[in-house]
Amino acid sequence: MTDKKLKILLARYKRFLLPMGVSIASVVIVLFVIFPQINSISQKMSDISEQTKKVESLRQSYSIITQSDDSALDNGVQVTTSALPTAKNIPLIFNGLSEAASSSNTTLTDFSINVGGIYGRAANFTQEGLIGAPTVEVVARVDGIDPKNTIQFAKSLVSKLPLSQINKIDISGSSAVYNISFFFKPYNSSGSTSVDSLAPVSQQDFNFINQLNTGN
Amino acid sequence: MKDEGINLVAGRRAEQKVEHFISGPSLIIFGVVFVIATVLVIYSFLLSSQYDSLVSQETSVRAQISTVSAKRDKITIIHERLAAIRSIIAKRSSLSATVFNILSIIPDDFSLDGITADDNQVSITVTSNSLAEFADFLEQKIPSFAAKDKTGVKTVQVRAFSQSKNGYSLGLDFLMNGGTAK
């Protein structure tokens, strides 16, 4: 009885099955093809825009690298690492003190360095000083003709490399004791800065490097 | 008895109208939907190809950059060092500048006997044979310096004034934070 009824209904509404099926197919296509594709296209366009910028930036970085003067870069690295050594560099500190004494017509009679942790694990100095770089503490004894002469050592030292900061001055007669902090900074342990957006070393940077080198 | 027959022809015509009314637009809508879906799928495929092309371009440029990695590292090091150096120079103590600024007001014929200086205080001891020079120094130069100084001196205190065999000796404390002398 039920089959018979079904057959009757089927025979009667057979003509509506195709339009109904087509309508359902349209809805399915909209829901499962068109909407997801719109989302996917939107995402892909965003990815392409980002990727285009990245490729453009990399090309620019490559261009900057190839156009940079290698000898100027070598000089820049040499001067900047002399100004701010990557580790506690005692010969460089001694050189800075000697040059300051020489150019101020004073005599470096002795100096002591608080070397703590130069060897072994403690040498991996991660603690940063008050102004963003660790320091080596040095006490230098300088002799001059008189206080006006021995104070010239301070003026000279500030313009010499490596970078330093005078924390305490004690001058009595022709003898002076200076407490000095010499800055250093290890290379960034996270590795090289991303090359995705490498900036060129500008002329202003090179001028600054020259100033550091000449002590002006 | 009246013969009341059923008009089956009229009912079938109505169904045919409905059938036409439904099947025509549904086929058109399906066609439109199908075309839109096809266009979107093709466009999406093209975008995927474009993205893949950009990724391969990135790989290619990175490979080019790796051939000049030494120069790249130098540029990176210079940038990193310069940033740190500029920061240190901007923030480091300018004690020697402060001391030289203070020394600049001492008359040439004064003898400088001693200086002690740190971030909080600069103390100097000067001697001279001329009381008149001291008077000028204390009444003119020191007040003028205290009013105009830009290196951080907040207060100037006379620590000691005494007479010795070498003349008159004056001890001055230049306080940076406005505190009291040590």
At a CB cut-off of 8 Å and minimum separation 6, what does A200 contact? A64, A67, A68, B75
Average model confidence (pLDDT) for chain A?
86
CA-CA distances (angstroms) from residue A70 to A73, A76, A83, B64, B156? Answer: 5, 10, 20, 17, 53
Residue A25, strand partner residues: none
The ipTM is 0.79
Residue B126, strand partner residues: B112, B170
- Average pLDDT (A93-110) is 93
pTM, full prediction: 0.76
- A:B CB pairs within 8 Å: 222
Higher pLDDT, B26 or A74: A74
Digit-coded pLDDT (tens) for B28-59: 999 999 999 999 999 999 999 999 999 999 99
CB atoms within 10 A of CB A161: 22
Residue A166, strand partner residues: A180
Distance between first and last Cα of chain B: 135
Tokens for A14, please give them.
């057979």
Q: How far is residue B116's CA from residue A178's CA, in Å, rounded to a whole number? A: 10
Is there a contact between A165 and A84 (Cβ–Cβ < 8 Å)? no
SS3 assignment, position B4: coil
Q: Minimal Cα–Cα distance from A89 to chain B, Å?
A: 16
Q: Which residues in chain A are contacts of B78 at CB distance < 8 A?
A: 73, 76-77, 80, 201, 205, 209
Is there a contact between B182 and B121 (Cβ–Cβ < 8 Å)? yes
Asked if B159 reaches chain A (Cβ–Cβ under 8 Å), the answer is no
CB contact under 8 A, A19 and B27: yes
CB contact under 8 A, B88 and A133: yes
Q: Minimal Cα–Cα distance from A202 to chain B, Å?
A: 10
Higher pLDDT, B111 or B165: B111
Residue count of chain A, please give it.
216
Residue A171, strand partner residues: A176, B115
Digit-coded pLDDT (tens) for A47-101: 999 999 999 999 999 999 999 999 999 999 999 999 999 988 899 999 999 999 9
Handedness of CA B73, B79, B82, B83 (dihedral sign): negative
Q: Which residues in chain B are contacts of A200 at CB distance < 8 A?
A: 75
Digit-coded pLDDT (tens) for B59-72: 999 999 999 999 99
Is there a contact between A193 and A65 (Cβ–Cβ < 8 Å)? no
Is there a contact between A44 and B47 (Cβ–Cβ < 8 Å)? yes
Among B residues 70-89, those touching chain A with beta carbons less than 8 Å apart:
71-82, 84-89
Region label for A173, one of left (φ > 0), alpha (ψ between -120 and 50) or beta (otherwise): left
CB contact under 8 A, A51 and B51: yes
Higher pLDDT, A193 or A36: A36
CB atoms within 10 A of CB B142: 16
Digit-coded pLDDT (tens) for A121-169: 444 444 556 567 889 999 999 999 888 888 899 989 988 989 999 999 9
**Interface-testing mutation among B82, B101, B182, with chain A (most A C-beta atoms within 10 A):** B82
Read off the amino acid at residue A144.
G
Q: Going by DSSP bridges, is the β-strand pair B167-175/B121-128 parallel, antiparallel, or unpaired?
A: antiparallel
Asked if B45 reaches chain A (Cβ–Cβ under 8 Å), the answer is no
